[in-house]
Structures are given as C-alpha cells and as structure tokens.
Structure 1
Amino acid sequence: MPADHPVERRAVLRTAAAASLAGPFAGLVADPAAAGTKPRTVPLFPTPDERDGVVRLHVPEGFRYRSFHDTTSTVVLTDGTVLPGRHDGMGAFPGPDGTVVLVRNHEVNGPVGAFGKGTPYDTAAGGGTTTIQVTRTGEVVRSFTSLNGTMMNCSGGEMPWGAWVTCEETVNGPDVGPDFTGAPNTLLTQPHGYVFEVPANVFPGEGQGSRQPIRSAGRFAHEAVSYDPESGYLYLTEDDFGFASGFYRYKPPSDPMVVGHLEDGGTLEMLRIVGMPNAHLEAAQVQGATYLTDWVPIEDADPEFPYTPGEIAPTTNDTAISYVARQGWAQGAAYFSRLEGQVARAGVVYFTSTQGGGPPEAGNTTAPSGFGNGFGQVWAYHPGTATLRCVFQSSGRMQLDLPDNITTSPRGTLVVCEDNSDSNYIRGLSRDGHLWNIALNPTDDEFAGSTFGPGGRTLFVNIQAGRGRTFAIWGPWQSIGV
C-alpha cells in the first residue's frame, strides 16, 4: 500500500494557453479535472513492488506494479537465452487468452558477441530484441530471442499489421572507424544503422525477425518509427547526439497493410520547412508555432564505405553518421536536436526533441556536447496538411527534463519518459499544455519503452540501467487524466 508521504516534486507546472495548442495536437485529450484552467497535481507515493515487496517506483495512490526480467542477477529466458539487459524501446500486442506480447529492444553497443538463439545478423554484435508473453499484471508466461546480431537497438515502433520495427542508433560496421566508445569495428561482420522488422507472435518459431535490414529506410542513427496508414509512410526520427538530426519518411514499395510486412526497396525523404532553408528547429520556439513543410529526396540512403578487412576503416564515424543527413541539408532540410520518441495517433505523428528549445546552435551542424541547448520539445506532424507544430517546449529542468520515449493512452493522453541524470519521471501531457506526474524512478536511471497493453489497463515500461528491468503498472488511469 502507498506510504503516508507523497512525492510532489515538479507537481505544479507552467500551463500554456489552450488556443496555442489547437490544430494537430487536438488529437490529445484535455485534462478533465483541470478543464483548461490549472495544472493537475498528482502526488506520487513510494509503493512496494508486487514481485518482492521492495520499493522501486513511486506511483499515484491506488496504483500497483510488478517488475520482471530484472537483470541485476542473471535471467534465463524460456529458450535458454541469457537476457542481455539494457532494456529500451518496446511494443505491446494482444496475446492468446488475454495475455500481452511484448517485443523489447536491448541497446547493447560494441563488438561484444551476439546473444540468444537463431542465426544472428552479425555474430559480433550484442543487441537485438526479445519477445515476452506476460499476464496483464506482469507475470511472465514465456520468453525468447526474436532478433539478434544487431547493435544499439534504441527505440522503434508498433506497426498496425502486427509487428515491431526496431531501430539501430549507430552506423558502426567494418567499413566505418570506431565510434565514441573506441571499440574496434574491425571485429564486426556487417554494416549497422538500419531498421529491422520483428513479427509480434508469441511462439518462438513464428515470432522471429528475418535478420534482414530495411536498407532503403536509411543507414543513420535511427531512434523511433511510426506508421501512418492514411499516407502510407513510415516516419523515422534520428538521434545523432553530436550533430543536428533530421526527420524522415520512408515509402515502402508495397502497402504493408496489404502484404502484411515491411518491404525494402522504397524511397527515403527528409523534412524541409517551406521558405526557410535549413531551419534551426533546435532553437527555442513560440509554443504553438506552425510550419508548412515539404520533403527532399535522399538519393544514397544506404552508403557503403571503402575498407580493407581487418584494418581500421578510413571513413570516420563522424563522417559516416551524418552522411545521409548531409544530403538533406544540401537541399535545405531542417535541423533538429536529438529526435527520439515517436508515436502516431489519429492521423498525427508526435515526436520528441530531447535537447530542443534553447538558444540556437551557432550556424553549424555539430555540437560535441550534444546538439541542442534546451530541455526538450514535443512536435506534431500532420500528414494531411503537411504542417509541423511545436506543441510543447520545456522552460527548464524542473518542468520537463529531456523527453525521450513517448506513447499515447487509449484516451489520447501523451505519456512521456524522461532521460536525465536526476530523478526521472513518466509524465502525462494534455492537449492544453498541462504536465503531471505518473511515476518516479528514484534511482535516476532513465525510463524507456513505455507502451500500453491491449485495452489500456496496464502500462509497460522499462528501466534502462547498466542491466535492465521491465515494469507492469496498473491502476485507475482515468482518475489521473490518463
């Protein structure tokens, strides 16, 4: 049961005028209690984990949670896989007998060797996905490797045809020099920086990714994807930490809603602001500012760089990681700061800019300490009108601190994960600009992979520690405006 004293840090937050958040953001519901007049306060209480009684999260009164796949000790999956940890993006799908199927990323970098069962894409790469069948309250039924041999699997996206698309946030490979870790890419056997599709099926023989990348969707530091059935495009965010990032769309050669999977061989484009070549959207915005957009083609979406096997490649990681984006910038594409979480709902694509909203970068596309000087933005792209709108911008660390993964509740509220170094929260965001607390992780590790299970009764979310842990959180969501 909740303790006697709630945690209320950041409970009272700045509000924005409801009129400034009309348009594309109207797909999100208003906070019914606030009624557009004041911010909601949701106290959080230290609450014991249903698994073992240890307090790991602070949640609202009346909420409960259970953790599972806690890799502070060795976890062995049903298929014998030793779970690699670094839990990140995650999708939730309906399973048999009222269960939930989770497809979960593992953001493991470096040539550390592939984990799990099945033939890996790259025998030296330690990232990938695992698939877990759980009850609504987080009790594990079965689990197995569903993709291995990939690298830095950060976020991704749930596809409406019943698949998870996972993203590699890197361009490492034997043809590229070492990244920021200094690890020797000479040990890798394949190029990285792609998206991969994983079917959301609970049976190991069927719920397996093909281990074949969708190369035409680009080789860059992918973060998240979403699919808009009306336009037929897959939208992609880029988190290129030290460089400006872009917002992309991929048109597959066949409609995946018809063929049932995502095909390679399509076209990639990058977003541009009409009349504003190389618009610096990492800079502070007037909240509610709306831009008319168009798209520029990326001719060489899947670059290969010359190298000699066993030797350090002459192409630096910095050159390779911005290769695709530079093609767009040469045509006036927009600059963003660290585009991370993304979700599509009711014809609108919402995405976060983790360090957006501060003073603009000094007219170039590099910033070694991280491109962007703000505390975060939330953007909405409306395919039907080709407009982009800044729907929220943080005024400082105590309001919203580095937004990362996002999802929507069945009622339409955005649920935002923070990724900072001090008391990360899961936050609710309403259409009239109100933020409120949903959960607190007191250990300071980032939240990631937030996703509601079928029916919206349970929020599943990861803690991406050096190892990792997954939570199922349930309670009276409507009572807190979620």
Structure 2
Amino acid sequence: MVDLQRRSVLRGAVAAGGALVAGPFAGFAARADAHGRPPVERPPLGPIPDERDGTVRLWLPPGFKYRSFHDTEAPVTLDDGTALPGRHDGMAAFRGPRGNFILVRNHEINGATAAFGPGTPYDPMGPGGTTTVEVTRYGQVVRGFTSLNGTQMNCSGGPMPWGSWMTCEETVNGPDVGPDFTGGSNVALTQRHGFVFEVPVSGRSEREPVTRAGRFAHESVAFDPHEGALYLSEDNFGWPSGFYRYVPRRNPMRTGRLDNQGRLQMLKIKRRNNLDLSITQQRGARYQVEWVDIDDPAPTFPYTPGTPATTPNDTALTYVSRQGWAQGAAYFSRLEGTIYDRGTVYFTSTQGGGPAETSLGPIADGYGNGHGQVWAYHTRSRTLSLVYESPGADVLDFPDNVTTSPRGTLVVCEDNTNDNYLRGLTPDGDLFDIALNRLVSSLPGNAPRFNDEFAGSTFSPDGHTLFVNIQASRGMTFAIWGDWRKIGV
C-alpha cells in the first residue's frame, strides 16, 4: 500500500462489460446472479454512532453496529509497555480464550528509526512490525503486546491454518541498497529487508525471515493447505508486479511452521510470454497457468558497511521479478490483497483494467491505468480467471486488502483519495457497499479523514464480527457486527 498522486475523479454512473453499477448510496442491487437466484435487496448505508463514544465514524447498513479501538490519535500503551504505533494495516483473526479472538496486526512503517516494543528486534533500526491483541466479539480490548519488531513496511500478509500470521515487508531496503521512494538513507539499517516473517498466534515471532520466499516488495500471502503452497503477491509500484508461489520442502500442515528450504516460482501464462494482464480484459477471461523457477530469490548486493550503497533501489526492486520475466512470466499491475477460499486464491490488482503502459517503468504514478481488478487462481486446475474489473472510480476504486466471509463473499478494502468504502463482491461479480469511512479527526481543527484507507479486513472465526483497520499515521481498528446474511455477505 503506497499513497498515490494519480487518482481519478470520475463521478457518475458507469457501466461496462455487464458489471454491476453501484455508486455511492445507490440503494439495492437489482439483478439476479449468474445462477438465476433473485437479487439481495440492500438498503443504502447510513450514519451509525460508534459504541465506544457515540461519535459517527462509519456509515453502515441499517441494524449494524461497531466499536473502534486502538485509536492512535491519542497515545495507546499495550500491556508490555509498547507505545502502539499507527499505520494499522494487514490483519487476521484467530480463536482465543474464553470466546474471545486474537488479532495479529501489521504496522506499515518505513524509514530507519528505532524499533518499537520490547525484546531484541530483527533490525534495531526497523520501525515496523506486528502487534497482537485479544478482543471480545464486540471489540473490547482484553490485552495486547508486541509480537514482531525491527522490520519495515509490514503491509499485509495472511493467516496460516496451523495457527500463524505471515507478515510481509513491502520493501527491499537494507544497508546494501540505495534510498527508496521516500529519499531516506538506508545506511543505518543493519539487516536486509523485503521478506516474509512468521508470527505465531500464541506469542512472539522468532524474528527470522523466510528468505527463500523472496526478497521483493511483498504485499500479502495465502496458503493452500491441500497442495502445501504459499501464494504471494507483489506490489512493485512503478514496475510490473508478479504473482508467486513458494513451495516449502515440508508441508507446514504437518510440521506446524513454514520452512526456509523451499522453492520460489512466478506465474506464467502458458504459450504467452510476458502477457500483460494489467490491461482491460474480456469478461470471463480465463488462462492456463504454469510456474517458472526463481533461482536467486534473496540477493545481497555489494556494499561497504557505514557508507551509502551503490545499488539503486529500482535495481533491487526488480531483481527477483526480472528472473521471472526472462522466462516469460506475466505482468500485473500492483498486486495487493490475497485470500484462499475452498480451492481458490483470490487476489486484487489495484490499478489493473486500463490501457497498456508504454514502458516497463519506473512509472511515477504506478504501473497500470485502470481502477482495479479481482483475479482468482484455481489451484487444482491451475487456471487463472478474472472475477471483476472495475469500469470506473464510482463503482470500485483501487481495491486493496481482501478477505472472504464464511459464505464466500469477498470483502474488499478501497485505497483511493476520495470516499473510501468496504465493498462486498460475490464470486458471480455482484458488487455492493458494506461500509463508508466518515472519520473526522478529534484533534484541533476537526479535519475530515474520509480519504484514510480501509485495510486488514478479516472475519472472526465464527463469522460474527468483521474486523478492519484504518491505515493512516493515526490508525484505529473497528469491530463491526450485524446480520451479514441479510445483506448477502
């Protein structure tokens, strides 16, 4: 997740390719799904007061409630003394004690400053990481602590069925790489970054990266328990992004952890070298897939400690993907959220679905000229299909994190600079509104925060509560509950 300068301001009803037209406050959907079932009537969203203090922060369907917590507009201290950082991002919910839930939550913080929280960090100058919090089904906090520190730009990740959260660094910074898009120096960093880390639900991470799963701008992961493979998305902002899989040496469903002895591979469309899937696709597009090996997934670049590195950041960002491109791997636009559900890995392409780019980058406003795509990789048949392509900003604008409900509906977080929504998307392509950000700062000036993005959508294991974050320097988390079946989630 990277804030963009390029944002479309297209407004008004838009329709293309048979996609559902559902602009803000458009009322209920009015068409049958692909199987001929009658449409679900969905009333428009409206203002709902926060159970925490009565302030309206979200618009939701009638009858729904929510409570916000860990609002870092004011200082928050966790039980282990951690001063809770902001930029709440990817997250997953697991079963906890006494009917409560355990949330493992990312903090996407860049730069080379002191690590937060107690314990020995992976890199003492890495300011990102994860916190773990126990909450009730109604968003009341029981306890919280630092579960990983010393990392950078922990964007999203994914829940693992053996009881872990895999957190992803969306960067390739390190002492061996030149400054990134922020312009900050990497000299103070002591470790390479750009890896995935395993965080057990029961406690703290061992702070050891899974280097064989690649050093690139990781966004999120999803695990298929049947074939024992981890799927990984890449958000390489200014260049084409790849879709990867990591095949560990041993199936973690048997060992209880992801090993660092596996093989990284990149998706290629059969008989179509370097097919650009970021461009507008035909409705129902479907492709046969193969996988090409990445021989050097975790490079270290030459450098002299204590002096600026000579390897440009863009070179490091594309080092892994260029190995795949040389073998015909496919191009995507900014792959972000991923989720596994019943034999399918769904993933979002944030700026996919527009005209083709004219170069491979670097592109200042992000690779891709569309408003977003949602893809599905079917692991058994090894086929890739397009679930949805946004026809315009008023329908779906820059899809990011994604999860599924117990009934298989996707919940998609928007990341744009206009009004940010949580959208529901059925596998048949029925798109609808779930929530609208109506945050106003409590700090002097009371500035609206409608542009702050949703992130980390995740359902509690019993399906009762949808937890979601606001990803901003002053972050917060919401617990939302209501009759999900009534609105088709």
Q: Give your verdict on TM over 0.5.
A: yes
Give the equivalent residue in structure 1 for 2:363: 367
Matched, 1:330 2:326: yes
1:78 corresponds to 2:79: yes
Are the equivalent residues in 2 in contact too, given 1:12–1:40 (CA < 8 A)? Answer: no
SS of the residue corresponding to residue 240 of structure 2 reads coil
Match of 1:426 among 422, 426, 433: 422
| Residues 83-135 of structure 1 deviation map (CA, whole Å, 9 limit, x = unaligned) | 01100000100001100000000000001210001110000010000000000
2:291 is aligned to 295
> Displacement, 1:200?
0.8
1:341 maps to amino acid: G
Task: Assess, with a 3 A threshold, how the Cα gap between structure 1 residues 36 and 14 changes in structure 2: closer, same or farther.
Answer: farther
In structure 1, the partner of 2:229 is: 233
- Where do 1:169-188 residues align within 5 Å? 169-188=170-189
- Separation in 2 of the partners of 1:254 and 1:31? 45
Question: Contact 1:39–1:435 at 8 Å: present in 2 too?
Answer: no
Secondary structure of 1:186's match?
A: coil
Equivalent position amino acid for 1:389 in 2: S
1:87–1:106: 8 Å Cα contact kept in structure 2?
yes
CA distance in 2, matches of 1:68, 1:317: 37
**Secondary structure of 1:176's match?**
coil
1:437 maps to which residue?
433
Q: Which runs of 5+ in 1 are unaligned?
A: 1-8, 19-29, 202-206
Deviation, structure 1 residue 17: 5.9
One of 455, 463, 484 as aligned partner of 1:477: 484
Which stretch of structure 1 is more off in the superposition, 381-390 or 129-138?
381-390
1:40 is displaced (CA, Å) by 5.2
Helix, strand or coil: the match of 2:212? helix
Structure 2 gaps of 5+ residues are: 1-9, 20-30, 439-449
Counterpart in the other structure of 1:414: 410
The AA in structure 1 aligned to 2:279 is: A
Does 1:278 find its partner at 2:274?
yes
- Say if 2:70 and 2:477, in contact at 8 Å, map to a contact too: yes
Q: Does 1:384 align with 2:353?
A: no
Distance 1:307 1:40, change over 3 A: farther
Q: Residue 197 of structure 2 corresponds to which residue in structure 1?
A: 196
What is the alpha-carbon distance in structure 2 between the residues aligned to residue 32 and residue 374 of structure 1? 25
State the match for 2:389 in structure 1.
393
d(CA) in 2 for partners of 1:270, 1:152: 23
Shift of residue 273, structure 1, vs aligned partner: 0.5
Say yes or no: does 1:464 pair with 2:460: no
Judging changes above 3 Å, is the alpha-carbon distance between structure 1 residues 146 and 40 closer, same or farther for their aligned structure 2 residues?
A: same
Judge which range, 70-79 or 358-367, deviates more: 358-367
Aligned counterparts, 1:73-152, within 5 A = 73-152=74-153
Q: Normalising by the residue count of structure 1, what TM-score does the alignment of the two structures yield?
A: 0.92
The alignment of Structure 1 onto Structure 2 pairs a total of residues equal to 458
The aligned amino acid for 1:199 is P
CA distance in 2, matches of 1:387, 1:431: 15
Which residue of structure 2 aligns with residue 25 of structure 1?
Answer: none
Q: Equivalents in 2 of 1:193, 1:93: separation in Å?
A: 26
1:455 Cα offset (Å)? 0.8
Q: 1:390 to 1:174 in 2, by over 3 A?
A: same
Q: Distance in 1 between matches of 2:218 and 2:174?
A: 15
CA contact (8 A) 2:159 2:222 kept: yes
Q: Which amino acid aligns with 2:230?
A: L
TM-score normalised to the size of structure 2?
Answer: 0.91
Code of the residue aligned with 2:270 in structure 1: it is V
The answer to whether the Cα contact below 8 Å between 2:158 and 2:222 also exists between their aligned partners in 1 is yes
Q: Which residue of 1 aligns with 2:239?
A: 243
Amino acid at match of 2:342: A
8 Å Cα contact 1:31-1:481 kept in structure 2: no
Q: Look up the match of 2:155.
A: 154
Cα distance in 1 between the residues matched to 2:428 and 2:11: 18
Distance 1:109 1:42 in 2: 40
Paired residue secondary structure (1:319): helix
Q: Does 1:339 align with 2:335?
A: yes
User: Hey, what's the Cα distance between the residues in 1 that align with 2:299 and 2:130?
Assistant: 25
Residue type at the aligned position of 2:182: T
Deviation at 1:370, TM superposition (A): 0.2
Quick one: percent identity of the two aligned structures?
A: 62
- Is 1:313 paired with 2:302? no
* Cα distance in structure 2, aligned partners of 1:366 and 1:400: 25
Tell me the amino acid that sits aligned with residue 465 of structure 1: A
Which whole-Å deviations, capped at 9, do the CAs of 1:220-254 have from their partners, x for residues lacking one? 00000000011211000000001110000001111
Per-residue CA distance 1:250-270 (angstroms, 9 max, x = gap): 011111000101111110000
Give the Cα separation in 1 of the matches to 2:485 and 2:383: 31
